[in-house]
Amino acid sequence: MRVRVRCFAAVREIVGTGELVVDLPEGSTLTQLVDQVRGQFPRLEGLVSSLLFSVNREYAPFDKKLAPGDEVALIPPVSGGGHV
């Protein structure tokens, strides 16, 4: 099955595009998607532990099951925090 993967900020710079299409076995979870993407882009390694994920525009846990056509986003920590 195919899912769309939206990439932002530092992730977009590493991947080199704002959107990937990833082919996964039916029934895969976010964990399997992330493993595949980090295998393809080893420079993501340092970032993976800080990423959040969304599926169809809602934050989702690692064990979330994916369906064909889902829109996943790799979400680096958001901009705010204590700096502004």
Partner 1 sequence: MFEITDQPLSLEPVVNAVKKSSSGAIATFLGVVRERTRGRMVRYLEYDAYREMAVPKMREIADEIRRKWEVDEIAMLHRIGHLQVGEASVAIAVSAPHRHQALAACAYAIDRLKETVPIWKKEVWTDGEEWVGPPT
Residues 31-60 that bind partner 1 (CB under 8 A): 50, 54, 57
Residue bearing tokens 């493993």: 35
User: Which one, of 57, 36, 47, lies nearest residue 12 by Cα?
Assistant: 47
Q: Is 74 in a helix, a strand, or coil?
A: strand
**Residue 16 touching partner 1 (CB under 8 A):** no
Q: Which stretch binds partner 1 (CB under 8 A): 8-16, 24-32, 33-41, 62-70?
A: 8-16
- Which residues make up the interface to partner 1 (CB under 8 A)? 6, 8-10, 12-13, 50, 54, 57, 73, 75-84
